Each structure stands twice: as C-alpha cells, then as structure tokens.
C-alpha cells in the first residue's frame, strides 16, 4: 500500500505525482509531521543565534525538540510567481522519501504553515565542509589526512548509492552541501535541485542550475544532465578536500584562481604534491595524496565519457584500481556566465557571483 506522510495532503494530486519514490509505513515510521509551534519553540522563535546556515533555497536553524534531540530546521519561503521554494520542498521529499544511507542526511519530518515550508533533519555537529575545512587555516588543522580520506570515501559512497539505487542526480554537489556529524562522517544534503532519472534514461534535459566552479561544462552549455555532471562536481570537491583551497579564490595581485586549472598545471608540471594542503606538513602518505588528486582530475575531464563512474572512483580511492598507466586529459572549466545555457529575456534579476548558486527562472519552464 502506498503511503504519503501527512504533509503531502497539502499538495494537489499533480504535485503528489511528482514524488517518484512512494513512502511506506514500515520505512517511514520515524518520519513525522511537525506543527509550526513545535518548531518555533525548538528554535527559540527562529532566533538569529540559532541560525547555522543560509543557502540558495532557505535558512537552517538549530533546534532542540521536546525529547531533547537536536535537529536542523530548514525554512523555505515560497515565491508565488516562480513557486521557488515549493519545488525545492517537493524535490527534497522526493529524494529523501524512503532512502537511507550512512552518507545521506536523515530527514526527520516536515511542516507546512501557510506559504512557508519547513524540513527537519538530523543535526550535524560539525556543520559543513565549506564552513569548517574551507573556513580558514585554524579550521583546516582539525582535518588530518585520515579524516580527509574518510570524508572523501564517504561522499563517494553516498553519491554512488544515489546514482545506482534510486537513480538520483544531486545536481548541486559542493562543499557547503556536505554536512559533517560529530564523527566527521560526511552526509550529502540539500536535495532541492535533485532530479530522478527515469527507467532506461541516461540523461535529462533541463534548465541549468548549480554553483559556479562545480558545474560540468557540457551540462552548463547544453542543459543535458547526467550522472557524469555529479561526478565532475565530486572531482572538484575532492581537489578542495586534498588541497584545503576553495574552488574559486581571489587575490588583488593575481585576480581569480580556479582550483581545477591550478591542479591541471601542477599535473602537467609533475608537481601534484605541491597542491596538498600545507597544514598537513609531512603528516600524510605522499603517494596516496597524489592518487587522490589524480582521481579528482579524472572526474573533471572535459569529455564526460572519459570520467569514471562513482563505483569506479571508489575503487580508485581504495587503491583497488591502479592509476599508474591511466591517461588524464584536459579538464573542462566554466569560468564565464555567458557560456551557460540561458534565456536572456527570462534570466532572474539576481546578481550571480563566482561560487554562488545559479538558478534560471522562466514563466514557461519550471525547475522541476
């Protein structure tokens, strides 16, 4: 028997049909419908002191429920004209409805209150990779090589599960969407842009959405979304984890620096070891670190067909596949917004900066 959580009764039948993964009572016994008052009390009135993150699709607050358990509460406000927020809410429910994996954030429940939607997640004690690992040198000192390896493998395993089991393309893999629990176990979060691949379908044609620096070039240019789009983003993220550097950086003397380009130059000059985060000093296995960078470069190759699957990338990370004779070709790089497939007349008026979330709006075409 198909079963939808109580919050789904708020949607029309056509919206319910957007949820591809149906719920069942056994798998969702811990999913619940929260009231607005419960979440207001849990977050101390959505106090700014409880704010732990702000993303392209909502603000996240730390909350403590009446049973003393900690949660993260994401608040999505609906834009009536574009329905932005509503679609992200539905997409997250669709993606996380009845799937479970150690490297996916746990969805505890939801709340619908007027034009506002709330999603309730397991609380992540160590915030996200962007806030911690990429948040400054003092933060990077907390991440030993073993911790970085643990995080890299966890992200790969979570992404591989999404690609093979529910056939989900995340579409926004980046440092700020990798959450860390108290043991620094990574959890893929923010499924507001995710897409489900239909049976026997290898791609989806869609309006481009994602984050500059992490966008696969073929997707940015054509709008053709595949699993290889996520794999490109994973490659960028892997380079960030090993180097401790952001995907796009800026300084007054040299302007913008693209990590992918810097890694490619280091590869051509046989200087990959120089890319490893300096805070590690000599406390890391050089051969393994270089292998991780090479895997990152394999994942960001310009031609999508040359990128490994996530299952293969995991074997490479675990050193089950030898890389000695593997040829790495030039990476793809999207450094110009004008390269991205867009409808100029219907482009959102928002100003997009490097590293910011990109989303294109059109009265004729929806996100999902």
DSSP conformation letters of 104-126: BPPEEEEEEETTEEEEEEE--TT
Radius of gyration of the chain (CA): 20
> Pairing between strand 357-359 and 209-211?
antiparallel
CA distance 71 to 106: 10
Write down the residue that tokens 């691949």 correspond to: 197
The candidate with the shortest Cα–Cα distance to 172, out of 364, 359, 368, is 359
172 is catalytic: yes
pTM of this structure: 0.82
In which element (H, E) is residue 209 found? strand 209-211
b (16+ CB within 10 A) / e for 121-154: bbbbebbbbbbbbbeeeeebeebebeebbbbbbb
pLDDT of residue 212: 85
Is the pLDDT score of 358 beyond 60? Answer: no
CB 352 within 8 A of CB 358: yes
Domains observed in the chain: 32-122 (3.30.200.20), 127-345 (1.10.510.10)
CA distance 228 to 101: 21
Helix or strand (DSSP H, E) at 358: strand 357-359
Alpha-carbon distance values, 277 to 141, 244, 264, 266, 284 (Å): 10, 5, 16, 14, 10
Helix (H, G, I), strand (E, B) or coil at 313: helix
User: What are the DSSP calls for 14-81, one per residue?
Assistant: HHHTT--S-B-TTTTTT-EEPPHHHHHHHTTTT-GGGEEEEETTEEEEEEE-TTS-EEEEEEEE-BTT
In angstroms, rounded to a whole number, what is the distance separating the alpha carbons of residues 278 and 292? 16
Buried-state track 63-72, b at ≥16 Cβ within 10 A, e below 16: bebeeeeebb
pLDDT band at 85 (very low <50, low <70, confident <90, very high): low
At 83 the pLDDT is: 58
Please report the pLDDT score of residue 334 as a whole number.
77
Mean pLDDT for the stretch of residues 156-184: 93
* 305, pLDDT greater than 80: yes
Summary mean pLDDT of the chain = 81
pLDDT for 252: 53
84 within 8 A of 91, measured Cβ to Cβ: no
Q: Which of 102, 172, 277, 325 is flagged as catalytic?
A: 172
**Pick the residue with more confidence: 145 or 224?**
145
Mean local confidence (pLDDT), 276-291: 96
Encode pLDDT of 108-130 as tens digits: 999 998 888 999 999 999 999 99
Q: What mean pLDDT do residues 47-70 have?
A: 89
Cβ-proximal residues to 49 (8 Å cutoff; 6+ apart), any chain: none
């Amino acid at each position: 028997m198909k079963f939808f959580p109580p919050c789904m009764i708020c949607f029309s039948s056509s919206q319910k049909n957007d949820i591809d993964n149906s719920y069942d009572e056994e798998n969702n016994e811990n999913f619940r419908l929260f009231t607005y008052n419960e979440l207001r009390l849990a977050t101390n009135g959505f106090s700014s002191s409880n704010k732990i993150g702000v993303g392209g699709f909502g603000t996240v607050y730390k909350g403590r429920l009446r049973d003393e358990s900690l949660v993260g509460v994401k608040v999505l406000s609906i834009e009536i004209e574009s329905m932005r927020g509503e679609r992200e809410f539905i997409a997250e429910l669709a993606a996380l409805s009845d799937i479970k994996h150690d490297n996916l954030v746990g969805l505890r429940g939801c709340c619908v209150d007027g034009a506002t939607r709330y999603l309730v997640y397991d609380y992540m004690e160590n915030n996200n990779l962007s806030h911690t690992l990429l948040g400054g040198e003092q933060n990077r000192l907390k991440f030993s090589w073993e911790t970085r390896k643990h995080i890299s493998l966890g992200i790969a395993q979570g992404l591989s599960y999404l690609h093979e089991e529910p056939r989900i393309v995340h579409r926004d893999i980046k440092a700020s969407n990798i959450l860390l629990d108290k043991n620094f176990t990574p959890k893929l979060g923010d499924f507001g842009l995710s897409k489900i691949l239909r049976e026997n379908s290898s791609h989806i044609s869609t309006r481009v959405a994602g984050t500059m620096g992490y966008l696969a070039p073929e997707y940015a240019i054509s709008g053709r979304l595949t699993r290889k789009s996520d794999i490109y983003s994973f490659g960028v993220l892997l380079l960030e984890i090993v180097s401790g550097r952001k995907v796009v950086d800026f300084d007054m003397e040299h302007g913008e620096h693209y990590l992918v380009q810097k890694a490619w130059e280091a590869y051509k000059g046989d200087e990959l070891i120089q890319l490893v985060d300096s805070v590690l000093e000599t406390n890391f296995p050089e051969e393994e670190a270089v292998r991780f960078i090479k895997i990152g470069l394999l994942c960001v190759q310009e031609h999508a067909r040359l990128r490994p699957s996530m299952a293969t990338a995991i074997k490479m990370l675990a050193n089950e596949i030898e890389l000695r004779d593997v040829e790495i070709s030039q990476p793809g790089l999207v450094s110009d917004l004008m390269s991205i497939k867009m409808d100029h007349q219907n482009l959102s008026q928002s100003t997009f900066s490097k590293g910011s979330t990109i989303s294109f709006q059109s009265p004729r075409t929806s996100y999902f």
